[in-house]
Amino acid sequence: MPLAETSEALSRDLARILDIWRDRQDGARDPLQGVLRMQLADAMGASGGGDTPTPEVRKAHDAIRGYYDNVRYALLDPIAMVWGTIANAVRVAAAVDNVTPTQRAVFAFDAASIAALFRAAHSELAVAESLWRAFRPMPAADCQTLAALFNPHMDARPDGAMIIAVARVLGNEGPLTSEEAHAVATLRTTGLINAAFVGIRSRS
């Protein structure tokens, strides 16, 4: 898929997820929902993000924007920053080994909020599949984690524990620790272990 089409799909699908989350899953007051809506508005060149943000959401949004001021890939398509927030929130919630202290401070969102975002995506199969196809070819660990979490063939409903397990397994390198081995056992109940994680399967 050409870059422009990928960017458009990532923007469109995220906007749909946020609407589903707000309208069907009572997500209007969730801080992560508010931050992502503000970021998406920034990326699309719009003003605001719909509802007037709470002081908590405004503070989190400004901290994240300050973080990206010092990150080189912020020079890429602005939608990359919005998805970077989601990827970093997942990594921080999962305590992936290479998370920095700054990331822990800036991207500290509840695992339950992150799970709500993925449940919103999976409530419309076309949205989950579109995002799965967008992230699946991208080799970075963060993108592979997102691809796994949007996998439309997932057998289980996304929850915080499952998201943390996926991020722990795909976000780190080297031999599995005992904690990660437990995460793999958790993933076997989702169906994801059969659709991805080729390297893990080769050692199981």
C-alpha to C-alpha distance for 117 and 113, rounded to whole angstroms: 7
Rounded CA separation 53/155 (Å): 35
Given this model, what pLDDT does residue 197 score? Answer: 52
pLDDT score for 105 = 96
Q: Which residues of 1-33 are buried (b: 16+ CB within 10 A; e: fewer)?
A: eeeeebbebbbebbebbbebbbeeeebeebbbb
DSSP assignments along 169-202, one per residue: HHH--SSPPHHHHHHHHHHTTTTHHHHS-HHHHT
- Identify whether the C-beta of residue 109 lies closer than 8 Å to the C-beta of residue 129: no
What element of type H or E holds 152?
none
- Tell me the two tokens of residue 51: 């509802």
CB 156 within 8 A of CB 162: yes
In degrees and rounded to multiples of 5, residue 166 shows phi and psi of -60, -45
pTM here?
0.86
Show Cβ contacts of residue 49 under 8 Å, excluding neighbours closer than 6 positions: 34, 37, 38, 39, 40, 41
The Cα–Cα gap between 116 and 203 comes to 32
Report the alpha-carbon distance of residue 44 to residue 158 in Å, rounded.
28
**How many beta carbons lie within 10 A of that of residue 172, not counting itself?**
19
pLDDT for position 88: 96
Per-residue pLDDT tens digits of the chain, which is 204 residues long: 556 678 889 999 999 999 999 999 888 899 999 999 999 999 988 765 567 889 999 999 999 999 988 776 555 678 989 999 999 999 999 999 889 999 999 999 999 999 999 999 999 999 999 999 999 888 888 998 999 899 998 877 888 988 988 888 887 766 666 666 666 666 666 656 554 454 444 444
